[in-house]
């Protein structure tokens, strides 16, 4: 799943390549991705791109007439530039957007079910997932007050709050694992049990991890962003590998409908969390 650092890098590259260009053609190859059935993407043909902006893990193309095309990647969506041969294992293209005298953008989905979604709206806030977004730790204005409103006194697991888009925008499974490792906190600890000092450390880890990742992804071509993200992970996706800090073994744990990774020695005082499939 793309998270805020990768989507930010995508938005910046799109800004360089498509702002000022009119939409020449839009091909929708999978109609389930269109969330505004009364306003299909084809209505944007001829409109000129005026801006590109990120909203958490979503982005929007803003047009000179005030309309917006909002793209929500979901769990398996992403984007790539068209016009070249894709590898045989590349995810299928669900929508292609062609710009006048310029590139074509392909929106893809690698899942067994369609998670990619697009909406044509007059106001970005008309997309409910964006209207409900909490403050974004990649924003220089993100404050300790924003963080405390998300965390203080919550009777919920720490990893769950980090991924709760209504509380904190842009963080998913991968970066929540990395934040918790950086803060040396258990992913399943109830937020209400954390001390003030532990919340201090978690706040610093959240802002540091996300802002540093945004800076690290900047300028990387969108076709290389997934590999760059994977390479940067210290515990996420590193099951069975040595912990980069203590040398212990990184392990899996079951979390909601997915799987996370953690270091027992660094994060849970050696306590092993339930693994996927455990009863």
Considering the domain architecture, whether residues 100 and 173 belong to the same structural domain is answered as: no
Report if residue 151 sits inside a domain: yes
pLDDT at site 256: 84
Could you tell me the pTM of the whole model? 0.96
C-alpha 272/C-alpha 100 separation (Å) is: 56
> Structural domain of residue 152, as residue ranges?
144-267
Strands 77-81 and 104-109: antiparallel
Higher pLDDT residue, 1 or 76? 76
pLDDT at site 247: 98
Domain count for the chain, please give it: 2
Per residue in 127-157, is it b (16+ CB within 10 Å) or e — as a string? bebbeebbbbbbeeebeeebbeebbeebeeb
Report if residue 162 sits inside a domain: yes
pLDDT at site 106: 97
Strands 58-63 and 49-55: antiparallel
Considering the domain architecture, whether residues 79 and 111 belong to the same structural domain is answered as: yes
CATH number of the domain at 207, please. 1.10.8.50
Considering the domain architecture, whether residues 166 and 198 belong to the same structural domain is answered as: yes
Q: What is the mean pLDDT of residues 51-77?
A: 97
Higher pLDDT residue, 257 or 169? 169
Report if residue 105 sits inside a domain: yes
Q: How confident is the model at residue 28 (pLDDT cuts 50, 70, 90)?
A: very high
pLDDT at site 278: 63
How many CA atoms are closer than 13 Å to the CA of 65, on its beta-carbon side?
12
Find out whether 243 and 249 touch, Cβ atoms under 8 Å. Answer: yes
Report if residue 139 sits inside a domain: no
Q: How confident is the model at residue 279 (pLDDT cuts 50, 70, 90)?
A: low
Considering the domain architecture, whether residues 110 and 229 belong to the same structural domain is answered as: no
Asked if the model's pLDDT at residue 269 lies above 80, the reply is yes
CATH number of the domain at 125, please. 3.20.190.10
Considering the domain architecture, whether residues 12 and 67 belong to the same structural domain is answered as: yes
Report if residue 276 sits inside a domain: no
pLDDT at site 89: 80
Q: What is the mean pLDDT of residues 201-216?
A: 98
Q: Which residues contact 58 (CB under 8 A, 6 or more apart)?
A: 7, 70, 71, 72, 73, 127, 129, 130
HEC assignment per residue over the chain: CCCHHHHHHHHHHHHHHHCCCEEEEEEECCHHHECCCCCCHHHHCCCEEEEEEEECCEEEEEECCCCEEEEECCCCEEEEECCCCCCCCCCCEEEEEEECCCCEEEEEECCCCCCCEEEEECCHHHCHHHHCCCCCCCCCCCCHHHHHHHHCCCCCEHHHHHCCCCCCCCCCHHHHHHHHHHHCCCCCCEHHHCCHHHHHHHHHHHHHHHHHHHHHHCCCCHHHHHHHHHHHCCCCCCCCCECCCCCCECEEEEECCEEEEECHHHHCCCCCCCCCCCC
Final residue belonging to a domain, choices 67, 101, 131: 131
Summarize pLDDT for 135-155 with one digit per residue, the tens: 999 999 999 999 999 987 789
Q: What is the mean pLDDT of the chain?
A: 95
Q: How confident is the model at residue 85 (pLDDT cuts 50, 70, 90)?
A: low
Final residue belonging to a domain, choices 105, 131, 157: 131
Determine phi and psi for 57, rounding to 5 degrees.
Answer: -100, 15
Considering the domain architecture, whether residues 127 and 8 belong to the same structural domain is answered as: yes
Higher pLDDT residue, 57 or 88? 57
Q: What is the CA radius of gyration of the chain?
A: 20
C-alpha 217/C-alpha 213 separation (Å) is: 6
Final residue belonging to a domain, choices 131, 155, 180: 131
Report if residue 279 sits inside a domain: no
């Amino acid at each position: 799943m793309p998270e805020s650092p990768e989507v930010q890098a995508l938005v910046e590259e799109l800004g360089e390549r498509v702002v000022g260009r009119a939409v020449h053609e839009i091909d929708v190859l999978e109609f389930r991705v269109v969330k505004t059935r009364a306003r299909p993407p084809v209505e944007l043909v001829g409109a000129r791109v005026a801006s590109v902006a990120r909203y958490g893990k979503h982005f929007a193309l803003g047009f000179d007439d005030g309309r917006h095309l909002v793209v929500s990647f979901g769990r398996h969506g992403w984007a790539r530039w068209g016009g070249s041969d894709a590898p045989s294992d590349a995810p299928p293209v669900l929508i292609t957007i062609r710009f006048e005298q310029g590139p074509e953008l392909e929106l893809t989905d690698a899942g067994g079910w369609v998670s990619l979604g697009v909406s044509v709206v007059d106001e970005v806030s008309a997309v409910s997932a964006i209207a409900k977004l909490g403050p974004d730790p990649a924003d220089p204005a993100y404050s300790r007050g924003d963080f405390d409103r998300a965390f203080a006194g919550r009777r919920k697991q720490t990893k769950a709050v980090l991924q709760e888009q209504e509380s904190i925008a842009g963080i998913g499974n991968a970066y929540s694992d990395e934040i918790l490792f950086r803060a040396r906190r258990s992913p399943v600890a109830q937020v209400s049990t954390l001390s003030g000092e532990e919340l201090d450390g978690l706040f610093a880890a959240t802002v540091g991890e996300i802002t540093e990742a945004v800076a690290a992804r900047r300028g990387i071509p969108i076709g290389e962003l997934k590999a760059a993200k994977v390479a940067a992970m210290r515990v996420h996706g590193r099951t069975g590998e040595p912990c980069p800090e203590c040398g212990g073994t990184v392990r899996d744990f079951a979390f909601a409908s997915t799987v996370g990774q953690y270091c027992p020695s660094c994060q849970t005082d050696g306590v092993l969390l339930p693994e996927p499939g455990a009863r």
